[in-house]
């Protein structure tokens, strides 16, 4: 049974009209959104995203909420997204299509490797606190080039080493928990570990997100999108969430409560980062440098 078939069978109890997992059987479409003061619950948002992905994976996308009328509505009334989603920049992962959502429905933060660093966490805080989304989803995907590069120890250039250093700990965790795996299976395990690592970085790096979770105003979950089957595999919450919420926060940069600068970017701290090496092996993979230094860099 495929993941879509399993998902649809689970949804039978919620939607009696859904009598089979065959592509010919229409997947339920939630009623049109009503812009009210009452926000949907995280459970309701998850159901909407699960149904949207079921429609997408079966070729039943509605393409609702992407017409000119919706553009005018969101331009005049502002955005009211139902979920904040951190995903990879990979061009094969079009988030709104994957969940069959329209304009203004999702607040999407995209970065190679779906890592959580300062910029990503700041964007996530905007979506969850300022826009008030009840769900934060960290979405990884199969055949992720960023994770693959770290697993294989590929040489990367420019600013990429500073980007993928967040992925190194996830790969190390996958290696330790799954000794003896071949490279293909290790990459799959590392992609999953990277989703949870990203959630860990958010929960230990953002007091704002942590407060929302503790107050039951926000649910944080992980998922992996299969770029071949178009199905989303749902991972749930971080298995160690309770302990992460009790862990002291990482030191946050100054800026709490400051007004946004009138022009340009916020002032940069005086301390400068060391210049990036012209060529550098991704973190944690020094022992594989000689084996892979001549190989091509994986695509992102």
In a domain, 127, yes or no: yes
Residue 221 domain flag: yes
What is the residue range of 284's domain? Answer: 68-247+274-292
Check which CATH number belongs to the domain holding 116 and give it: 3.40.1050.10
Q: 23-27, 139-143, 288-292: which range is least confident on average?
A: 288-292
Q: For the segment 238-266, what is each residue's pLDDT rounded down to a tens digit?
A: 999 999 999 999 876 555 555 554 444 44
pLDDT surpassing 60 at residue 287? no
146 is a domain residue: yes
Report the percentage of the chain scoring pLDDT > 90: 68
What φ, ψ does residue 39 adopt, rounded to 5°? -85, 150
> Is position 152 within any domain?
yes
pTM as predicted: 0.78
62, part of any domain: no
Q: Looking at the 3D structure of the chain, how many domains does it have? A: 1
Inside any domain, residue 78: yes
- Residue 108, domain member (yes or no): yes
Mean pLDDT across the stretch 135-141?
98
pLDDT tens-place string over residues 62-106: 988 999 999 999 999 999 999 999 999 999 999 999 999 999 999
Inside any domain, residue 153: yes
């Amino acid at each position: 049974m495929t993941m879509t078939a399993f998902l649809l069978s689970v949804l039978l109890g919620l939607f009696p009209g859904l009598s089979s997992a065959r592509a010919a059987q229409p997947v339920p479409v939630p009623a049109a959104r009503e812009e009210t003061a009452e926000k949907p619950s995280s459970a309701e948002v998850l159901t909407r995203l699960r149904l949207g992905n079921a429609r997408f994976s079966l070729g039943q996308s509605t393409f609702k909420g992407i017409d000119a009328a919706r553009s005018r509505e969101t331009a005049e009334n502002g955005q009211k997204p139902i979920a904040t989603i951190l995903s990879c920049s990979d061009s094969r992962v079009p988030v709104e299509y994957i969940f069959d959502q329209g304009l203004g429905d999702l607040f999407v933060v995209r970065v190679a490797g779906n890592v959580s660093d300062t910029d990503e966490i700041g964007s996530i805080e905007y979506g969850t606190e300022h826009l008030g989304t009840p769900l934060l989803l960290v979405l990884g995907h199969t055949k992720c080039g960023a994770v693959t590069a770290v697993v294989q120890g590929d040489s990367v250039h420019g600013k990429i080493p500073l980007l993928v250093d967040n992925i190194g700990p996830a790969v190390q965790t996958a290696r330790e928990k799954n000794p003896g795996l071949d490279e293909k299976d290790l990459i799959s395990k590392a992609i999953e570990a990277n989703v949870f690592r990203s959630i860990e970085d958010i929960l230990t790096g953002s007091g704002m997100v942590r407060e929302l979770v503790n107050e039951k105003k926000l649910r944080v979950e992980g998922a992996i999108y299969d770029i071949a089957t178009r199905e989303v595999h749902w991972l749930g919450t971080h298995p160690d969430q309770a302990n992460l919420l009790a862990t002291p926060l990482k030191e946050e940069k100054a800026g709490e409560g400051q007004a946004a600068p009138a022009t340009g970017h916020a002032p940069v701290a005086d301390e400068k980062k060391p210049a990036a090496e012209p060529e550098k092996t991704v973190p944690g993979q020094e022992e594989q440098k000689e084996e892979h230094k001549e190989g091509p860099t994986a695509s992102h």
